[in-house]
Chains A and B, each alone.
Chain A
Amino acid sequence: MMSHQQHMAPPSRGSVNGFPHRKLEKESSGRHDNKTNLVRSSSGGLSGAENGIILGHGSHSRDRLIYVLTQLIGHHVDVHVKNGSIISGIFHATNSDKDFGVVLKMAQVIKDGSTKGQRYAADIIKKPETMIIPARELVQVFAKDVALGGDELPKGPGHDKRKDLLIDSAISRTHYLEERELERWAPDEGDSECIELEKYDRKGNRSWDQFETNAALFGVKSTFNEEIYTTKLERGPHMRELEKHASRIAREIEGEDTKDIHLAEERGLFLGDDLDHDEEIKYSAVRRDTDNSKYKSFTNVPSSTHHVDSFNRTVNIDPKDSLACSSTMGEESSSYTFDNTDSSAIIQANNVSQPKFDDPSNKPFSVGENRLDKKLSKDNNESLDNRKLQPENNLSAGVRPLISEGLDGPPSSSQPSSSGQGFKSPETPDSTVSVKPSVMEPMTSSQRPGSSTSSTSERIAANSVASAPGLSPSSSIGSLTSEKSTLNPNAKEFKLNPNAKSFTPSVSLRPPNPPASDASYYYPNNMPAAPLGPGLPVGMTFPPAYGGQPVMYNPQPGTPPQGYMHPAGPQVRKL
């Protein structure tokens, strides 16, 4: 049995059992015999031979001991001592050269074994202090939650060992770059039914009424009146026809061929596997100028030279400018290609890149022009408005918002044909007729190749002519894709005044819409009461043909077109 008395080895010996001498230092204070403490013999009683062997072990085991004790530094430990007391503190040091006395910091005696009954020392609260426990007293050092296998990898800032706070860098630190094969998500079995975001009944009508729900759940009574925002649909006997017509047009448009990749994708047309088209090109909302970096703005209604001239107007419009309906002009085909030669003002409502609207046959007479002209001629306004708008208010959803677009743009934008002024309310029949077809065009979708447009316009023209002889060209604008004009049939007839004052385009072209969000046709949805200025037929509204954003035109006679400035567009000096 090893005694725990310290062995004294003659100082003359170079080493005790192979251990070099060391004088014990302060380790055990107050113990006189400690002063003579030297390194204990490793065996503590065993023979030298064993010592030798044990030494061999000893150094290894000592290493282990030292390793463990070092790992304890900084931990809260309880040290049990001979008399039964327990001292709790932070492990600070051990005397590894000697017999492993222990130094604790911020230590307190939590259990006093010396007093009778060994009660806990909680009653006597003392300030924690540094304590040294001599090896002699030491019975046990007990530490909880020690990572003997080494601590986890440091987590970077803060060395936070808490698992619940995993910051990104910590997560990625432990995760070496493993590329994994990504699999497409597929719903689990039985889950597919739950995925319905929208509830549609058989007919495709939404069976969800938010207003009802809100009223039921929250008692919120809505004051929403759809008619404030859109044309009141007159659900009369003509309704069906109008609807049919509109849907036909819609189908036509939607089935159209297009070069625009976005539209094509939407329509399911395969444009050919263009390897250049990575996801960014396909889906990004950033419009990158391809070659037509010229931002086409509304500045000048491209009152085409021809038509304009035919009307003897002085137009200081640069025919090259395109009437930018869409805010996202940038695109080559974007819309307003005011084709000099064609003298067609094609108003493209969307930012779809469309090939230029080359339609020699029906030069879209700058619809805007007409309208703008109307704007200028104050007399025209109301009458025109009235006349133009009414028949058209049945535009159904099938009607492209474009129409509204077209309407919006040019009018609000520059009043290109200053000559517009010349247009008095009563339209000359010929001008009407001749103008109409062209007028039609811009209105129809920008993407429409000339043919369809013209056909439409012809139809419309025919219609309008039929229905409202002498309807101003603008009226046809409204009825772009519908056969019934929403224009007010009772409006005064528009008559072109060749001697009208010339007009310099003014500011605020209302760019139709923020780009990519609405794929093709968009409403200037941020303009509920579009300051379209005079000349715009009142009540010309386009029911949500696309994206459901109805815009109500409330042209205020006499109000110069302002307000909507294309954010990126050139600012045109106001007239």
Chain B
Amino acid sequence: MEAGGEEFAIGVVISAKTTLGEEFEGQIVAFDRPSKLLVIHEGVGRAERGERRNVRVLKANYIREFSVVSKGDDPLDPAGCMLDLDAIYAREEAALRQAEIDAERIGVGVTPEAQSIFDALSKTLPVQWDKTDIVVMKEVRVRSPYMPENVSGGTAAANERVKKVIDFERKRLHARVPGLS
């Protein structure tokens, strides 16, 4: 672990390798010695308002080696670093909500095949996971191994429909990925 502390100046563009085998290049935005955290953003120059960059916060002691590519100006505008906390919290909430929704769609402890059937069904039908069962339209239940025979419940019409969809989706999946049981 190299000291490198003195060389981590703001604005310098470095190319580095980490002890975990990752390589990257970017411009130093900040370096906090006490915590040894080095902040790097990809791309050179100051980011405009709304411009997005990839950001790394890396503990400097995990840098195996690095080299200076170039020197540049301060990528942060000291006068312009405003934090809109409301926006930030709002963003966080939105992200959390979305993550929850996404999490619902993932079956826990289900096989990837089951997951793909679930995903295929969810394109046209409202589906939820109930442990390892797929529940369609809150009434029709599809159990493992998710064959048309395993469809039960619901009205006859709904049942039929789910059977058909499963059948169709399986065929589609097989056509695409032969061998996906």
Chain A contact patch, size range: 35 or more
A293 at the interface (CB under 8 A from B): no
CB-based contact B30/A64 at 8 Å: yes
- Is B137's beta carbon under 8 Å from chain A? no
Query: Could you tell me if A146 and B34 are in contact, using CB atoms closer than 8 angstroms?
Result: no
Of all chain A residues, the one with the shortest Cβ separation from B4 is A1
Q: Is the CB of B54 within 8 A of A57?
A: no
Contact between A145 and B2, CB atoms less than 8 A apart: no
* Contact assessment for A61 and B82 in the assembled complex, using a CB-CB cutoff below 8 Å: no
| B52 contacts A128, C-beta separation under 8 Å | no
Contact check, B100 vs A74: say whether CB atoms are below 8 A apart.
no
Counting chain B residues whose Cβ lies within 8 A of the other chain, the interface size class is: 35 or more
Instruction: Kindly identify which residue among A39, A64, A74 contacts B39, using a CB–CB cutoff of 8 Å.
Output: A64
Interface residues of A in 69-83 (CB under 8 A from B): 69-76, 80
Query: Which B residues are in CB contact (< 8 Å) with A159?
Result: 87, 90
Complex-state Cα separation, A77 to B3, whole angstroms: 27
**Selected interface stretch from B72-80, B148-156, B159-167, B172-180:** B72-80
Can you name the residue of chain B whose Cβ is closest to the Cβ of A140? Answer: B58
Report how far A147 CA is from B41 CA in the complex, Å.
10
Across the interface, do A151 and B76 meet the contact criterion of CB distance under 8 Å?
no
Instruction: Decide yes or no whether B96 CB sits under 8 A from chain A.
Output: yes
Q: Is the CB of B51 within 8 A of A149?
A: yes
Interfacial chain A residues near B82, Cβ < 8 Å: 150
- Is A311 an interface residue when CB atoms closer than 8 A count as contact? no
Candidates B32, B56, B84; contact of A64 at CB < 8 Å: B32
Q: Answer whether residue A486 sits at the interface, using C-beta atoms and an 8 A cutoff.
A: no
A275 within 8 Å of B (CB atoms):
no
Chain B residue numbers with a CB within 8 Å of A75 are 91, 95
Q: CB distance B110 to A125 under 8 Å?
A: yes
A40 at the interface (CB under 8 A from B): yes
- Interface contact B47-A61, CB-CB below 8 Å: no
Asked if A41 is at the interface (CB within 8 A of a chain B CB), the reply is yes
Contact A154 to B29, CB < 8 A, known contacts A105-B96, A149-B47: no
Which one of A64, A73, A140, A144 lies within 8 Å of B29 (CB-CB)? A64
A4 engages B36 (CB within 8 Å): yes
Given the interface pairs A147-B51, A150-B49, the reply to whether A2 lies near B36 with Cβ below 8 Å is yes
Contact B34 A19 (CB under 8 A): yes
Contact check, A152 vs B30: say whether CB atoms are below 8 A apart.
no
Contact with A along B82-116 (1 / 0, CB 8 A): 11110111111111100110010011111010010
Residues of chain B from 106 to 161 with CB closer than 8 A to chain A in the complex: 106-110, 112, 115
- When the two chains form the complex, which single residue of B2, B18, B88, B89 contacts A139, counting CB atoms closer than 8 Å? B18
Q: How far is the CB of A573 from chain B (nearest CB, A)?
A: 63
B35 engages A74 (CB within 8 Å)? no
Whether A58 is near chain B, meaning CB under 8 Å from some CB there, is yes
Closest to A163 in B: B50
Q: How far is the CB of A231 from chain B (nearest CB, A)?
A: 62
Flag if B52 contacts A146 (CB, 8 Å): yes
Q: Which residues of A contact B68 (CB under 8 A)?
A: none
Interface pair B52/A145, CB less than 8 Å apart: yes
CB A3 to nearest CB in B, in angstroms, measures: 8
Contact B50 A140 (CB under 8 A): no
Instruction: Find the B residue at minimum CB distance from A137.
Output: B59
Chain A CB within 10 Å, residue with most, of B41, B92, B96:
B92
What CA separation (Å) do A144 and B52 show in the bound complex? Answer: 8
Does B33 lie within 8 Å of A42, measured CB to CB?
yes
A469 contacts partner chain B, Cβ-Cβ < 8 Å: no
Q: Are B88 and A74 in contact (CB under 8 A)?
A: yes
- For B56, list chain A residues within 8 Å (CB): 140-143
Given A61-B31, A148-B55, A151-B87; 14 other pairs, CB 8 A cutoff: A2-B36, A39-B34, A68-B30, A68-B39, A68-B55, A72-B55, A139-B58, A140-B18, A143-B55, A146-B53, A149-B77, A150-B81, A151-B50, A152-B50
21 residue pairs bridging A and B, Cβ less than 8 Å apart: A4-B36, A19-B34, A40-B34, A42-B34, A64-B29, A65-B30, A73-B88, A74-B89, A74-B95, A90-B99, A99-B34, A105-B96, A106-B99, A128-B103, A139-B58, A140-B56, A140-B62, A143-B56, A148-B47, A149-B46, A150-B84
